[in-house]
């Protein structure tokens, strides 16, 4: 089969051996996959024949030998551990979900890692009915999903994003859009923070007493300076980290939640770039240079 392989010479399509699934793994013919910002770092660091790829969607070729998961021919979305940017991928049935008829593989491929992060960062905030939520990095793959899911949960959402993306974020359901956290009015029960540096510092100045700032990204790479005195007026607020690899929520249940919401038209997958997989370098360049809003989805013909 063909697969994207990262070597010292760069990322390229190579011919590699077909995967050999473990008993709990299904073999999936990958039709679409999406990129994640974290993969930019991994591609720079892992150059010895590393096979990237977590977010995939496609068709079941071989069900798992242990009898778990959907039947052959079912369309599925999956969160692979790696090696998903390939014609075939072996994935544990605990990490996939069958797609409803109305959800296409290109939409589904935008969901796994970002959707799971969006769901579970918001869940840290508890019941969001009537709560004020501030989403930083709101134009991103995770951010667009957080805005929509928080609105679905009954929150009043303020999105932080560039002026040019205000229409997009209002369409996603944000009550208001501001270009920086420092421009946001009032205090927030929950702040989801993925930019770092001064954005994280400002988030502490906008969290309500007893509220929560969930730190799940550092897209700017900048460090924040925060100390106890910043919490005066925000007493009892907590800073909580979220790292998906330590997330105990069952992956397949989260994927099912996400695709069901897409199927009912309640959730729009945040697809910002779509192309054939031979355009992967353009997609990575766009992600690096922030030329599109949301996820890059690539299709394997
Ligand atoms: N902890 C976890 O488990 C987990 C899971 C998924 C993602 N993440 C992390 O969460 C962050 C968001 O993920 P994503 O998939 O939504 O990424 P993304 O699609 O690339 O979105 C990045 C967002 O951050 C904004 N941003 C502001 N300053 C930035 C800067 N200096 N560099 C890059 N972006 C900047 C972007 O705004 P513009 O529109 O202006 O570019 C965009 O809204 C990333 O850092 C990612 O690595 C963590």
**Would you kindly state where each structural domain of the chain is located, as residue ranges?**
2-110+269-299, 114-245
Which residues 6+ apart lie within 8 Å of 266 measured at CB?
148, 152
Identify the residue whose C-alpha is closest to ligand 1 atom 30: 220
3 state DSSP class of 111? coil
Q: Are 300 and 59 in contact (CB under 8 A)?
A: no
Which fold, 2-110+269-299?
Quinone Oxidoreductase; Chain A, domain 1 (3.90.180)
Task: Print pLDDT tens along the chain (301 aa).
Answer: 999 999 999 999 999 999 999 999 999 999 999 999 999 999 999 999 999 999 999 999 999 999 999 999 999 999 999 999 999 999 999 999 999 999 999 999 999 999 999 999 999 999 999 999 999 999 999 999 999 999 999 999 999 999 999 999 999 999 999 999 999 999 999 999 999 999 999 999 999 999 999 999 999 999 999 999 999 999 999 999 999 999 999 999 999 999 999 999 999 999 999 999 999 999 999 999 999 999 999 999 9
Residue 254 CB contacts under 8 Å (≥ 6 apart), including other chains: 115, 116, 119, 120
* Structure token digits, residue 73: 């021919």
| Ligand 1 in reach of 116 Cβ (< 6 A) | no
Residue matched to tokens 């607020």: 237
Q: Would you say the CB of residue 215 lies under 6 angstroms from ligand 1?
A: no
Nearest Cα neighbor of 114 from 181, 190, 43, 37 is 37
Residue 203, number of CB atoms within 10 A of its CB: 28
Distance 137 CA to ligand 1 centre (A): 6
Ligand 1 atom 18: residue of nearest CA:
140
Q: Ligand 1 pocket, 290 CB below 6 A?
A: yes
In the numeric block, which tokens belong to residue 207?
């969290």
Q: What CATH superfamily is the domain 114-245?
A: NAD(P)-binding Rossmann-like Domain (3.40.50.720)
């Amino acid at each position: 089969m063909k697969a994207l392989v990262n070597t010292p010479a760069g990322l390229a399509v190579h011919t590699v051996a077909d995967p050999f699934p473990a008993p709990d793994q299904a073999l999936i013919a990958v039709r679409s996959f999406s990129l994640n910002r974290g993969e930019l770092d991994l591609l720079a660091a892992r150059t010895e024949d590393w096979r990237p790829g977590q977010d995939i969607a496609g068709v079941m070729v071989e069900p798992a030998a242990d009898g778990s998961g959907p039947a052959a021919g079912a369309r599925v979305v999956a969160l692979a551990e790696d090696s998903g940017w390939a014609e075939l991928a072996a994935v544990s049935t605990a990490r996939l979900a069958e797609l409803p008829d109305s959800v296409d593989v290109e939409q589904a491929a935008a969901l796994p890692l970002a959707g799971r992060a969006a769901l579970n960062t918001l869940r840290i905030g508890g019941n969001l009915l009537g709560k004020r939520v501030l989403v930083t990095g709101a134009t991103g793959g995770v951010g667009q999903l957080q805005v929509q899911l928080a609105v679905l949960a009954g929150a009043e959402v303020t999105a932080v994003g560039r002026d040019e993306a205000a229409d997009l974020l209002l369409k996603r359901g944000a009550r208001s859009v501001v270009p920086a956290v420092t421009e946001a009015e009032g205090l927030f029960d929950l702040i989801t923070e993925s930019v770092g540096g001064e954005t994280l510092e400002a988030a502490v100045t906008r969290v309500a007493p007893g509220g929560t700032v969930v730190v799940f990204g550092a897209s700017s790479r900048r460090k924040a300076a925060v100390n106890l005195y910043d919490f005066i007026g925000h007493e009892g607020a907590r800073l909580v980290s979220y790292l998906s690899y330590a997330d105990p929520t069952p992956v397949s249940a989260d994927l099912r939640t996400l695709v069901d919401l897409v199927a009912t038209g309640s959730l729009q997958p945040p697809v910002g770039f779509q192309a054939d997989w031979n355009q992967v370098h353009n997609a990575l360049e766009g992600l690096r240079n922030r030329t599109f809003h949301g996820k890059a989805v690539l299709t394997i013909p």
